[in-house]
Amino acid sequence: MNLKKAKILVTGSEGFIGSHLVEQLVAMGCDVRAFVLYNSFNNRGWLDTFDQNLLEKIEIFTGDIRDGRRVETAVNGIDVVFHLAALVSIPFSYESPESFVQTNVMGTLNVLQAAKKLKTGRVLVTSTSEVYGTARYVPMDEAHPMSGQSPYSATKIGADRLAEAFYTSCDLPVTIVRPFNTYGPRQSARAIIPTVITRLLSGEKEIALGNLKPTRDMVYVADTVRGFIGLAESEKVTGEEVNIATGREVSIGDLARAIIDMIDPGARIVIDEKRFRPEKSEVYRLCGSYKKINELTGWEPVYSLEQGLKETVEWFSDKRNFRLYKPHIYNI
């Protein structure tokens, strides 16, 4: 599919990955409708940081992904839906599981039902590597078993299976896109990389972290966005579940130390057990295979971890960006 000729809806457009995706789609000359969570402050998340000339090229659509009628209005006239809207914090999912069900499961159902009714040409539903749980083998391909080790991952499994059901029972042209741990500029403060960077930049010498042993497959956001776009353009991915991964893993401890070495080698890590996940909920290892997306689209990771971290640190070091974060608050 030629996206330049398509009318595109991005849900979760104001968020981390969504804002980068919107930016790239506009740069490609696409006609983009950005679904933004309605709020009385007229806050459009990261879209508010865009240059006015860029914003004028985007159709801002406010609503709530949990409101089926509003979602249907957003999907009307759309050729391709990138569905990224979700609640993503694992610690908060322990505290508020119902909100995760309403947003992640019911929100996805609303998108699928609207796309079915309106005969949308392509729907890409965003999954997560967390649906796999702790690796039983590596690299983890799309056949890896799923395990709901947190309320968050359970809701994403539910959303994935709904997408599968709409493909198999309604012939809806759905693709399930499964990024591993995406990082980069604009990532939310709850994540490990922004946590370490902002606290170091604020002058802290002791960086409180939780479990340092788990490993993650870190994908730079520009690579993730290329993966989404490549899958949307491919004619081979309808009904498929596809990883976006690097095939490399790094422990949380080594990742944090790499950032410390970049910013303030004199700082040190201190363990805060309050930040640990419950034992059976911890995902100890994630390392994905990108063989399938490479075969389907030719995609492969471009950024090394070192390159991605360097660009991320540079972005956070800009005071205009750093001021948007609250490094002394523990974000769950």
Task: Tell me the catalytic residues.
Answer: 152
**What are the Cα distances from residue 183, in Å, to 49, 211, 225, 226?**
18, 19, 11, 14
Rounded to 5°, angle at Cα 63 from 81 and 183: 60
**What are the Cα distances from residue 51, in Å, to 46, 47, 54?**
11, 9, 5
CA distance 156 to 97: 12
Query: Alpha helices, DSSP H only, in the chain?
Result: 16-27, 52-55, 68-75, 90-95, 97-100, 107-118, 151-170, 192-201, 221-233, 252-263, 291-297, 305-317, 319-322
CA distance 122 to 318: 38
Q: Decide: 177 and 233 in contact? Cβ < 8 Å.
A: no
Q: Residues near 129 by Cβ (< 8 Å), separated by ≥ 6?
A: 140, 178, 179, 180, 181, 217, 243, 245, 286, 288
Full 3-state SS string of 274-306: HHCCCHHHCCCECCECCHHHHHHHCCCCCCCHH
CA distance 190 to 326: 10
Q: Decide: 322 and 201 in contact? Cβ < 8 Å.
A: yes
CA distance 110 to 85: 12
